[in-house]
Chain A
Amino acid sequence: MKFDTPAVTNPIDRMKIVGRPHTRIDGPLKATGLAPYAYEHHREIENVAYGYVVGAAVAKGRINAIDTAVAKAVPGVIAIVTAADVGKLGKGKFNTVKLLAGPDVDHYHQAVAVVVAETFEQARAAAGLVRVDYARGKGRFDLDAALKTAPLTGAEKPGKGEDRVGTFETAFASAPVKLDAEYTTPDHSHAMMEPFASIAAWNGDALTVWTSNQMIDWGRTDLATTLNMPKEKVTFLSPYVGGGFGGKLFLRSDAVLAALGAKAAGRPLKLAMSRPFMANNTTHRPATRQRIRIGAAKDGTITAIAHESGSGDQPGGSPEAAVLQTNLLYAGANRLTSMRLAVLDLPEGNAMRAPGEAPGLMALEIAMDEMAEKLRMDPIAFRVKNDTQVDPKDPKRRFSQRELVRCLTEGAQQFGWSRRNAQPGQVRDGRWLVGMGVASAFRNHMNMTSGARVRLGKDGVVTVETDMTDIGTGSYTIIAQTAAEMMGVPLDAVVVKLGSSAFPVSAGSGGQFGAANATAGVYAACVKLREAVAQRLGYNSADAVFDGGKVTSGNRSADLRRAASAGELVAEDKIEYGDLDKSWQLSTFGAHFVEVGVDSYTGATRLRRMLAVCAAGRIINPTSARSQVIGAMTMGVGSALMEELAVDKRFGFFVNHDLASYEVPVHADIPHQEVIFLDEADDKANPMKAKGIGELGLCGVGAAVANAMYNATGVRLRDYPLTLDKHFDRLPAVA
Chain B
Amino acid sequence: MPQQDTVLKQGELITAVTLPKPLGGKHFYEKVRDRASYAYALVSVAAVIQPDGTGRVAFGGVAPRPWRVEAADALLPHGAAAVTARAFQGATPTKDNAFKLPLATRALASVIAEAKA
Query: Residues of A with Cβ closer than 8 Å to B?
Result: 431, 599, 601-604, 606, 641-642, 660, 663, 665-669, 721, 723-725, 728-729, 734-735
* Contacting residues of chain B (92-108) with chain A, CB-CB under 8 angstroms: 99, 102-103, 105-108
Closest to B100 in A: A725
Contact assessment for B109 and A642 in the assembled complex, using a CB-CB cutoff below 8 Å: no
Alpha-carbon distance between A665 and B102 when the two chains are bound, in angstroms: 26
For this complex, 16 residue pairs linking A to B, each with C-beta atoms less than 8 Å apart, are: A431-B113, A601-B110, A601-B113, A602-B32, A602-B103, A602-B107, A603-B106, A641-B35, A663-B35, A663-B39, A669-B37, A728-B102, A728-B106, A729-B102, A734-B109, A735-B112
* Contacting residues of chain B (58-114) with chain A, CB-CB under 8 angstroms: 79-81, 99, 102-103, 105-110, 112-113
- Among A602, A603, A660, max chain B CB count under 10 A is at A602
Alpha-carbon distance between A602 and B44 when the two chains are bound, in angstroms: 11
B57 shortest CB reach to chain A, Å: 13
Contact assessment for B42 and A734 in the assembled complex, using a CB-CB cutoff below 8 Å: no
With A601-B106, A721-B34, A734-B106 already in contact, 6 other A-B pairs whose C-beta atoms are closer than 8 Å:
A601-B110, A604-B34, A665-B35, A668-B37, A723-B34, A725-B103
Given the interface pairs A431-B110, A735-B79, A735-B80, the reply to whether A642 lies near B105 with Cβ below 8 Å is no
Alpha-carbon distance between A572 and B103 when the two chains are bound, in angstroms: 64
A732 shortest CB reach to chain B, Å: 10
* Contacting residues of chain B (22-59) with chain A, CB-CB under 8 angstroms: 32-39, 42-43
Q: Which residues of B contact A735 (CB under 8 A)?
A: 79-81, 105-106, 108-109, 112
Q: Which residues of A contact B99 (CB under 8 A)?
A: 725, 728-729
A317 shortest CB reach to chain B, Å: 29
Contact assessment for B42 and A725 in the assembled complex, using a CB-CB cutoff below 8 Å: yes
Given the interface pairs A724-B42, A735-B80, the reply to whether A668 lies near B36 with Cβ below 8 Å is yes
Q: Which residues of B contact A729 (CB under 8 A)?
A: 99, 102
A665 shortest CB reach to chain B, Å: 6
Alpha-carbon distance between A221 and B75 when the two chains are bound, in angstroms: 70
A672 shortest CB reach to chain B, Å: 13
A666 shortest CB reach to chain B, Å: 5
Given the interface pairs A725-B103, A735-B81, the reply to whether A606 lies near B36 with Cβ below 8 Å is yes
- Among A666, A725, A734, A735, max chain B CB count under 10 A is at A735
Choose among A601, A606, A666, A723 the residue that contacts B109 (Cβ–Cβ < 8 A): A601
- Among A601, A642, A725, max chain B CB count under 10 A is at A601
Contact assessment for B35 and A666 in the assembled complex, using a CB-CB cutoff below 8 Å: yes
Closest to A665 in B: B35
Given the interface pairs A724-B103, A725-B42, A735-B108, the reply to whether A641 lies near B34 with Cβ below 8 Å is yes
In order of increasing CB-CB distance, the 6 nearest A-B pairs are A668-B36, A735-B109, A601-B110, A735-B80, A725-B99, A734-B109
Q: Which residues of A contact B108 (CB under 8 A)?
A: 735
Contact assessment for B107 and A601 in the assembled complex, using a CB-CB cutoff below 8 Å: yes
Closest to A669 in B: B36
B44 shortest CB reach to chain A, Å: 11
Q: Which residues of B contact A669 (CB under 8 A)?
A: 35-37
Q: Which residues of B contact A604 (CB under 8 A)?
A: 32-34
Q: Which residues of B contact A601 (CB under 8 A)?
A: 106-107, 109-110, 113
